[in-house]
Amino acid sequence: MTKRNTQQRRHTILQQVNELGEVSVEQLAEQFATSEVTIRKDLTALEQSGLLLRRYGGAMALPQEIVANSDEKLDPIRKMQIAKAAADLIKDHNRIIIDSGRTTAAMIPELSHKRGLVVMTNAINVANRLLSLENEPTLLMPGGTWDPHSESFQGQVAEQVVRSYDFDQLFIGADGIDIDRGTTTFNELIGLSRVMADSAREVIVLVESNKIGKKIPNLEIPWQQVNYLVTDDGLDDNTKQAIEQHHVTVICAK
């Protein structure tokens, strides 16, 4: 299947979702004479683009309140731009950690051309998307206690498992960026994030520019441990320079 045919199929799928309200994997596979695995990848890619919502066995159209909100429409585009720029930092055969979060999860389609990856994640949705990739990266999960707030595994068991590995890179999001201190979060369960940072040679933070400058009480990862901050092009030059003073490389995705 050529890239052009893939794009045409996904365009047609999106039209049907918007017209019918929902579609099923089985029906789409029969319609396009392709496998259900291929259709699931199409739906995952469209969901990552913020164009529909996945559901069990198929997909549904975005709720109208989301479609009507321009900020919500731009949000997935920003996340995709940031995710692509972050994924460009990954080399073949790297051992990486992808923390839970919507921005980090947006990286998954960008990994499809990387060879020999070993990926640990504490998020089930990230794990499921990794398993759909044709290049089949080696998947590791730490286990531990399920945290419904972050939709990920946390706790001492997870920390012990992560400590037993050595990783090239950690990709992690943030609820806010304190320009003086580092990444901040609303979640008080920050132990695993810090262990992840300790276990990786490079720490890459993915965050939208509108979160930079937000001072949230819980410091997650101090600047001393951050190597890269990847954001969108909404970051102003003065703030960028202030962050770079902490010896952090700032990448503004276009």
Average pLDDT of every residue of the chain:
88
What's the rounded mean pLDDT across residues 134-153?
A: 87
Distances (CA, A) of 138 to 55, 123, 153, 177, 188: 25, 15, 19, 32, 30
> For 17-36, how does the pLDDT look when each residue is reduced to its tens digit (9 = 90+)?
988 988 999 999 999 999 99
pTM of the model: 0.72
Return the higher-pLDDT residue of 51 and 95.
95
The pLDDT score that the predictor gives to residue 253 is 92
What's the rounded mean pLDDT across residues 92-108?
A: 93
The pLDDT score that the predictor gives to residue 64 is 55
The DSSP annotation for 48-89 comes to: HTTS-EEETTEEEPPPHHHHT-HHHHHHHHHHHHHHHHHHTT
The pLDDT score that the predictor gives to residue 31 is 95
Helices (H), the chain: 3-20, 25-32, 36-48, 64-67, 70-87, 102-105, 124-131, 156-163, 191-199, 237-244
